């Protein structure tokens, strides 16, 4: 079997660590692994397939001889190293938002638009975590009848803000139990026993940057350039796995039975939809795995051509690391 030299840019972060785990889980043909991070992490090690691998400093020369780079760093780092990665002849699968809306860069969810990988020019973008989970859930419905508009509300776990999110939640719960004052650092407000209806900064007409990603990225992934989405993103005191409430509106009616059958057969989805038995997608059930659970499918009472649903998925895995590794698998399939 052909093997590949794979670099992980941002190997010490939560998503980078998950990428290493998933590369091993999925038996990706890694011949040589190059973990990359900042100078202060160089010389430390990460665990890969039971062995310790030394971290190297991320610099232009580090990408020579690399076949695939999985990016788990911030926008500025992705932009800084992208030219060197492409010049070295590697394919850059980037999890940041730096290139997602670049018309020359494919934005890919393998269960939805795998064919777009073939159009890359050295960079392939990994979508936003909530967008990945949502389009995986609704793409099968779009095949039944094109989706014209969506109304979505996301309920995003604290781990979506990085490794400090769960720590802050736990620290606040403990502080409140002991009667101590809460001093938020990761989040703008107390997150324990609270909801924060803002993720990202204001971008358009009172919508935040996180909320606009659902429309802008959804259009590109599902090839629906006219898709309109109103989204509200909320941070919730859940450790892991994002949840999304979605209302889809079509040109023609789509029945609940049609929707259930389509989602049950859809790649990357699991139908969990039995209200009488209290069976529906929940964050605890969807954490630490790669399937998007979909349920609570019902008619939209405000629109005869609408359906409502609820979906959950692990935002660190399917919403980030696993999706990136799946893209890399498509790259080597086309090699």
Residue numbers annotated as active site: 129, 242
* DSSP 3-state of 139: helix
Please identify which residue in the block is written with the tokens 């670049």. Answer: 102
Provide the total of helices (H) and of strands (E) in the chain, helices listed first.
8, 16
The H or E element spanning position 204 is strand 202-204
* DSSP 3-state of 76: helix
The whole-angstrom separation of Cα 279 and Cα 273 is 6
Distance of CA 144 to the CA centre of its chain: 24
> Where does 75-201 show beta strands of DSSP type E?
91-94, 123-125, 147-156
* DSSP 3-state of 6: strand
User: Do the beta carbons of residue 244 and residue 152 sit within 8 Å?
Assistant: yes
The whole-angstrom separation of Cα 201 and Cα 204 is 10
| The pairing of beta strand 242-250 with beta strand 147-156 | antiparallel
Please identify which residue in the block is written with the tokens 């996301």. Answer: 154
């Amino acid at each position: 079997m052909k093997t590949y030299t794979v670099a992980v840019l941002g190997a010490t972060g939560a998503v980078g660590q998950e990428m290493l785990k998933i590369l091993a889980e999925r038996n990706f043909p890694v011949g040589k692994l190059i973990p990359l991070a900042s100078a202060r992490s160089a010389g430390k090690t990460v665990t890969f397939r039971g062995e310790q691998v030394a971290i190297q400093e991320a610099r232009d020369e580090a990408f020579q001889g690399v076949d695939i780079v999985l990016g788990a760093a911030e926008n500025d780092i992705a932009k800084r190293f992208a030219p060197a990665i492409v010049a070295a002849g590697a394919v850059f699968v980037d999890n940041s938002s730096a290139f997602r809306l670049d018309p020359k860069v494919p934005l890919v969810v393998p269960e939805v638009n795998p064919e777009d990988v073939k159009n890359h020019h050295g960079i392939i973008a990994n979508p936003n975590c909530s967008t990945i989970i949502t389009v995986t859930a609704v793409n099968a419905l779009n095949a039944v009848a094109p989706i014209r508009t969506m109304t979505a509300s996301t309920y995003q776990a604290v781990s979506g803000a990085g490794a400090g999110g769960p720590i802050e939640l736990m620290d606040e719960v403990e502080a409140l139990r002991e009667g101590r004052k809460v001093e938020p650092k990761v989040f703008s407000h107390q997150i324990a026993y609270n909801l924060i209806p803002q993720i990202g900064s204001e971008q358009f007409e009172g919508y935040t940057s996180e909320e606009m990603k659902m429309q802008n990225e959804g259009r590109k992934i599902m090839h629906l350039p006219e898709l309109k989405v109103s989204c509200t993103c909320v941070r919730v005191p859940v450790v892991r796995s994002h949840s999304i409430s979605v209302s889809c509106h079509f040109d023609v009616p789509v029945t609940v039975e049609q929707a259930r059958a389509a989602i049950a057969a859809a790649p990357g989805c699991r139908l969990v939809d039995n209200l009488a038995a209290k069976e529906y997608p929940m964050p605890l059930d969807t954490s630490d795995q790669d399937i998007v659970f979909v349920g609570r499918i019902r008619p939209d009472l405000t629109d005869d051509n609408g359906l409502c649903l609820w979906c959950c998925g692990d935002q660190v895995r399917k919403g980030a690391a696993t999706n990136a590794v799946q893209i890399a698998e498509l790259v080597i399939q086309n090699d």
